[in-house]
Structure 1
Amino acid sequence: MGSSGSKETVESAPVKPTGPPPLMSSPWRSHITWSESERRQLLDDIYNFKVKGGIQYLNCFLLGQSASGKTSFFNTCATALKDEGRILRPLTVLRAAGSSVTTKFETHPLYTKSDQVLKLRIFDCRGLHDIEGVTDENIRLILDGHVKHEYKIVPDETIQHTDDYYRADPQLGDKMHCVVYVVNAENPGAALAGGAATRSFEKIKKKISQTHVPQIVLMNKVDRLRGSLANDISELFRSEEVKNKFTAVARFMNLPDMNILPMSNYHSEPVPNRNKDILALTNLKVIMGSANDFVQGRGTSNAPSGFFD
């Protein structure tokens, strides 16, 4: 006999999980050890870095749109290097809308805990804008070492050979040894997508590629891709959100994965924290190593007599 009084069981649709996806079971990069001993080892390696190629300093050229975080990256590195337990702000960060803070081509020194100048010089200029940007010819001249510190950037104008800030006969130590593109991880192609900006960027990238100068991408503000990273950046390489953006940036910039460096700067913290220092120092060491490889290939001091004849 049938049980006419029974009710059919209705299966409900599975509840979709809300919130961010869980952290990956294993990191998609495992080159960082998040420990105090690692931080101290990084500081020691950078403090005692030996520059090759017979020159005194390595030169790194930062390129990026306004608000990409170039200044914040510099300040974060300055904080990590000085190791004073406080946030350093040697360069001013302004919340500018649509215009870059930097109006000159400038050289910025970084200092060790003992106030020694680091063997890396950071160069900066205005961002990649349609109207207010740096001409691609000026970029070429900067890369080749023709443009001196404090040259005033004039939109759409190229430095003249008669200018007091023009260097006629640059040596290896005057040239750029590494180019670092600084992009906003939240929307890395926003300021370079479409119109004159894209054309300008492609011209600049082509000129840089012709010089064989190493190109690195600093993917800033990754802590904004996942809420938990704001509290613990050590989860960075287990985040699916960061990995997806990382892949998109590598594709957009047309550079190998190894050339993309995720980064999180100090922006609201009252004091430094160990893991952010470790990330900054790790990226700084990679940049210095890439620049050093370039100058070693261009210098003659380490090569035997007659090698280049």
Structure 2
Amino acid sequence: MEESTVKPAVVATEKYKEPTSNISDDFLQKPWQEMDGFDWTEKSVESLLTEIEKYMPLADLENGNYSKIPHVNLLLVGRISSGKSSFFNTVDSVIKGRLSLRSRAGCASSSLTKSLDIYKVKGRKNSGTLNFRVVDCRGLEEDQSLDSRDVEYILDGHVMDGYVFNQSTPITKDNSKFRKDPTLADRIHCVIFVVDGSNPPEITMSQNVEKQVKELQEMMNRRKIPQLILLTKVDTMATVKEDLSKVFHSKSVLEMRDKIAMSFGLPPYTVLPMQNIANSPTVSKEIKILTLYNLRQILRAADDFLENHEEEIMGDKYKGAQTTSY
């Protein structure tokens, strides 16, 4: 993935317009994004699932042999009730083929995620744990923010699974959940900002939350960590509500994508439209395809980060990645 220089945030000044309720007004005949040859069929579900189950970080290294990075770490960051934890449940449900409720999700006045939760995902047919980890941390709030030192330690791989966030003080080096000598395999390889697409941009990115996000992005940019935006709840748009497979035909989703990308100072192509399974006990074919396609893009971004560290991975100075565990 290309790197981009993050520009100062642009605060929306125009009055927010409610998503179009008339499908004919919202529907674009030509999709504004193609899916690399995939379509909305069961064949695409199987193809994407197989690709993700076979995924190995930087598999092209060492003539196709298993690389020295056993898995990539994908950090979810977002405002409370944005769909952050629900996204993991959706990923787990799609791969399992049944509803998964491993991560606590829902609406609350404060973050439901109180600790750093690192999730493994198992493939189908007892194929073992897949080669990525989903890292979920407490949500961003208007009156409470993630401590910048906690975030830096998370990005650099110092914080282990189960660490409970303390609003008054960040993690210390004598904490049992503090990893003193992290390797490249312990670090965060891609950050996914989760944004509620059903809210106006000025609510999604209020001044206080926007300030928190910019501070986090500065840390990520210094480390050259790829950043993607997951635009959730797109089913509130007229065209998508009628048929999720028309998500890339929706004028409302396109407009929201561009506004959110501008707010984050990221290119529009880094925004991934998403519908979680929060309102449905079953996993539809369309949700499967969109989830797997987005996960595929996220894994590719993580590979881009690792590719920039290829010399370190292949060099003698890199040791111990294979023994990393959570």
> Could you say whether these structures have the same fold, taking a TM-score greater than 0.5 normalized by the shorter chain as the test?
yes
Unaligned 5+ runs, structure 1: 1-16
| 1:38 is the counterpart of 2:44 | yes
Q: Tell me if the contact between 2:205 and 2:263 (Cα under 8 Å) persists in the aligned partners.
A: no
Q: Distance in 2 between matches of 1:22 and 1:65?
A: 27
Q: Distance in 2 between matches of 1:192 and 1:24?
A: 27
Partner of 1:90: 102
Deviations 1:193-247 (A, max 9, x none): 124x333222111111111000000000011122x42342001011111111011
Deviations 1:67-126 (A, max 9, x none): 00011111111111123xx32222222331x21110001101112112421111011111
Deviations 1:238-283 (A, max 9, x none): 1111111011111111101221100011122232211110000000
Q: SS where residue 75 of structure 2 aligns?
A: strand
Q: Distance in 1 between matches of 2:39 and 2:283?
A: 18
Q: Tell me if the contact between 1:136 and 1:200 (Cα under 8 Å) persists in the aligned partners.
A: no
Q: 2:272 aligns with which of 251, 254, 261?
A: 261
Partner of 2:30: 26
Q: How does 1:1-309 map to 2 (within 5 A)?
A: 19-20=22-23, 21-31=25-35, 32-52=38-58, 54-83=68-97, 86-96=98-108, 98-115=109-126, 116-187=128-199, 188-195=201-208, 197-226=209-238, 228-300=239-311, 303=314
Q: Distance in 2 between matches of 1:189 and 1:265?
A: 22
Q: SS where residue 101 of structure 1 aligns?
A: coil
Deviates more, 1:228-237 or 1:170-179: 228-237
Unaligned 5+ runs, structure 2: 1-19, 59-66, 318-326
How has the CA–CA distance of structure 1 residues 130 and 161 changed in structure 2, closer, same or farther, with 3 Å as cutoff? farther
Q: Distance in 1 between matches of 2:139 and 2:21?
A: 38
Alpha-carbon offset, residue 300 of structure 1: 3.8
TM-score, with length taken from structure 2? 0.82
Q: SS where residue 60 of structure 1 aligns?
A: strand
Q: Tell me if the contact between 2:26 and 2:252 (Cα under 8 Å) persists in the aligned partners.
A: no
Paired-residue identity, %: 28
Deviates more, 1:165-174 or 1:129-138: 129-138
Deviations 1:141-165 (A, max 9, x none): 1101111111110114221122221
Aligned length: 285
